Structure 1
Amino acid sequence: MVINRAFENIVKKSPFYAYLLLGISFRKDENVKNISIKFTKNGEIVFLYNPSVNKKPIWFVEAIILHELMHIINQHFRIKPRNKREKKIWDLAMDAAINQYIPELDARGVPLNVLIEEGHGVDNEVIFAAPPAFLIDKTAEEYFEWMMKEFEKKGDFDIEALPDSIDDHDFQSEIPVEMIIEITKDKVGKAFNMFGKKLDSGLKQNIDVILQKSTLNWETILRRFSNASIKGDKYMTPLRPNRRYDDQPGWRYEYKSKLAVILDTSASIIEEEMNQFLTEIEKIAKQDSQLILIQVDKSVTMVTEYKSGNWKDLEIYGGGETNLQPAVDLAQSKVGVEGIIIFTDGHVDVPVVKRRVLFVLSSKHNPEFIEDAVRIYGKNSVIILK
């Protein structure tokens, strides 16, 4: 069968994709369009394929298998469009983000800007969505945002006139999406560590960024810092006997983590990034941790205790060059600080940190900073904001 030959060809051509295909089974399903992805209750990945694909050219079948693998790599199953209109746009945005890294589809691709201008596919034939020439190497989220803005400019526009994707984007699952993320991210991470160096530079950078993206909430992230040294609220519990009266419940204290949050306020940080940072800092503050907020450009510009809601009256000081080290040194001099979280765009040298550290990079970050930080402090030391 063509699909078997396509599978074998991919395995021979690329050890990276070969590793990803390990454990993925193929199952016939006449209800799907070409190929679709299913996650079973046992955590297995199944590619459902329509038997009709065996009548298609082998290059096409190889390409759509790679297309499905790229959906997994990019974790597109995380996004659930709000309505039918947004789903149509999101489907094309996903395809454009993927197809640019598959030569057979990229060569035959129709740029999104052309599809928007013409409002339909060419002669109703199969369409492979591609990025605009001025907007390559972007994510599906970025293409979606760009398309939404373009449609707003055009005003009244028939979304249904746009062509369909080459595959189903339903992403059937019998397990929670959080579990799928952990399973797929681990698999992609192992493949990338072993064979990532052989990938094209654009695809390699794309996957590297994806693997660094945060998929955890702050409650989970902060556990790594949580020795909980600050005594907080006091409450009664029957699980702790009263030392004076045996028949009375005892007292127990909630302990809070004490964290230093360093905020890069240098001139390279634009308003959009600062808003990203403050949003995340507010989320951290709601986790019942004691936060010491340190603003820094080339030197420390302000130190204050941050509590939930303080963003409303917070003044930002800075606008100069960047040097994170003075803020790190100050944070490490604070008694009881268990960890340091640094918000920056990465256009600066990686500082020397002797305590547990987490770098939170803006979406407009410097990739070289990530490479250095991961090399020095490990892959779990960096989170990239969308």
Structure 2
Amino acid sequence: MVINKAFENLIKKSPFYAYLLLGISLQSDNRIKNISIKFTKHGEIVFLYNPSINKKPIWFVEALILHELMHIINQHFRIKPKNKREKKIWDLAMDAAINQYIPELDGRSIPLNVLIEEGHGVDNEVMFVAPPAFMINKTAEEYFEWIVKEFEKKGDFDIEAIPDSIDDHNFQSEIPVEMIVEITKDKVGKAFNMFGKSLESNIKQNIDLILQKSTLNWETILRRFSNATIKGDKYRTPLRPNRRYEDQPGWKYEYKSKLAVILDTSASIIEEEMNQFLTEIEKLSKLDTQLTLIQVDETVTMVTEYKSGKWKDLEIYGGGETNLQPAVDLAQSKRHVEGIIIFTDGHVDVPVVKRRVLFVLSSKHNAEFVEDAIRIYGKNSVVFLKWKG
């Protein structure tokens, strides 16, 4: 069969993908479109495929298999669309995030901006989606946000006219998503440690961040730390149907915790600590938060709004002495900031903070800073990152 031959070819071509494919079983299923993923109750990964793909060209089937592996690597099974409209947009966003790394698909793809501008796809049986030329190497979350904004700008659009994805994104699972995350991260992590050097730099960088496991439960911390009660602007959205007129977009209010995140970029922060700080900030950005990121050494060096995926383009400015107070003063000048989160190694005086504050300390922190912070702001004001050396 063509699909078996495609598996064999990929195993020969790349040791990294070969490791991931080992242990994945195949199961035919006439109900799905081309190919899909299933996670069994025993934690096994199954590729479900429609037998009709055995009539497709070998390059196409190989590309489909890589496409599914990319879904696993990027943990797209964690995305849970709220309705059919939202699923349609997530399908586009996930495919754009993946296809740019698969040359056979990228070269035959339609950029998202062209697809949305024209309002429909091509008449071919299958269609591949790529990112806009001005927005490459981004995540599915970033493409999703961009697509929604573009639809809102157009005002008139028919989301049903947008063609379906080349594969079935209804990831089937017989176990909780948390277990899938651990299973897939472990498998991808082992493959990356052994064969990651053979990957292209952009793929390598993306996988490296995904594999950095957060050591803090930000959902629990934020429930204690912030109110999440600020009501944002009211805006029309295609993701919330109008109750009276089903074919019209509805109104939506956005509620988010507005937080200032201070990042210590002084000379005492080593690369491993900075990577961990950015990992935690990235995870925090995926929750219902609006983050203002303030970089500081002895003075404020950069202020920017931080959104998921921004780590890829983020420049770190600093390398001097340490003084957190200028960043704290700036954060407190922002009227709607609910609280301040400070990432530091603690080799600095404890700043004076009038808002609610949380100090996130690296494992190689200054013990005196911790004592002073707890004495001034209480024991719940300090959390620690675990070292991964």
TM range (shorter): 0.5 to 0.7
**What is the distance in 1 between the residues matched to 2:31 and 2:136?**
33
Q: Following the alignment from structure 2 to structure 1, what is the Cα–Cα distance between the partners of residues 326 and 100?
A: 45
Structure 2 counterpart of 1:270, one-letter code:
V
Secondary structure of the structure 2 residue equivalent to 1:67: helix
Paired positions, count: 278
Residue identity in the other structure for 2:95: D
Residue 238 of structure 2 corresponds to residue 205 of structure 1: no
Deviation at 1:149, TM superposition (A): 0.6
How far the C-alpha of 1:22 sits from its partner, in A, is 1.3
CA, structure 1 residues 107+179, in 2 after alignment: closer, same or farther (shift >3 Å)?
Answer: same
User: What's the counterpart of residue 21 of structure 2?
Assistant: 21
- Give the 3 Å change call, closer, same or farther, for CA 161–199 of structure 1 in structure 2: same
Q: Write the distance in 2 (CA, Å) between the matches of 1:196 and 1:269.
A: 32
Look up the match of 1:292.
Answer: none
2:360 maps to which residue? 341
State the SS of the aligned residue for 1:270: strand
Classify 1:263/1:208 alpha carbon distance in 2 versus 1 (closer, same or farther; 3 Å). closer
| Matches of 2:151 and 2:327, distance apart in 1 | 45
Instruction: Please identify the structure whose Cα radius of gyration is greater.
Output: 1
Provide closer, same or farther for how the CA distance between residues 81 and 262 of structure 1 changes in structure 2, counting only shifts above 3 A: same
If the length of structure 2 is used for normalisation, what is the TM-score? 0.64
Instruction: Tell me which residue corresponds to 1:226.
Output: none
Give the aligned partner of residue 73 of structure 1.
73
- 1:32-67 CA distance string (max 9 Å, x none): 111110001111110001110100000000000000
Amino acid at match of 2:303: I
CA distance in 2 between counterparts of 1:181 and 1:141 reads 17
SS at match of 1:272: strand
For residues 50 and 2 of structure 1, the distance between their equivalents in structure 2, rounded to whole angstroms, comes to 12
1:378 alignment partner in structure 2: 388
Instruction: Say whether the 8 Å CA contact 1:298–1:324 is kept in structure 2.
Output: no
Amino acid of the structure 2 residue aligned with 1:272:
E
Name the counterpart of 2:142: 142
- In structure 2, list runs of 5 or more residues that go unmatched: 222-260, 265-293, 310-319, 329-334, 351-357, 368-384
**Aligned AA (2:146):** W
| 1:178 and 2:202 are equivalent in the alignment | no
Q: Is the Cα contact below 8 Å between 1:111 and 1:133 reproduced in 2?
A: yes
Question: Counterpart of 2:81 in structure 1: which amino acid?
Answer: P
Which structure 1 residue ranges, 5 or more long, are not aligned? 222-260, 277-295, 305-310, 332-338, 343-349, 356-373, 380-386
Q: Write the distance in 1 (CA, Å) between the matches of 2:308 and 2:201.
A: 31
Q: CA RMSD in A?
A: 3.6
- Partner Cα distance (1:57, 1:3) in 2: 10
Alpha-carbon offset, residue 156 of structure 1: 1.9
Partner of 1:91: 91
Output the amino acid matched with 2:162: L
CA distance in 2, matches of 1:215, 1:105: 36
**Residues in 1 aligned to 2:302 and 2:106: alpha-carbon distance in whole angstroms:** 34
Counterpart Cα distance in 2 of 1:214 and 1:22: 27
Structure-to-structure mapping, 1:198-277, within 5 angstroms:
198-212=198-212, 214=214, 217-218=217-218, 264=264, 265=294, 266=296, 267-273=300-306
Q: 1:213 to 1:129 in 2, by over 3 A?
A: farther
Aligned residue number for residue 60 of structure 2 = 60
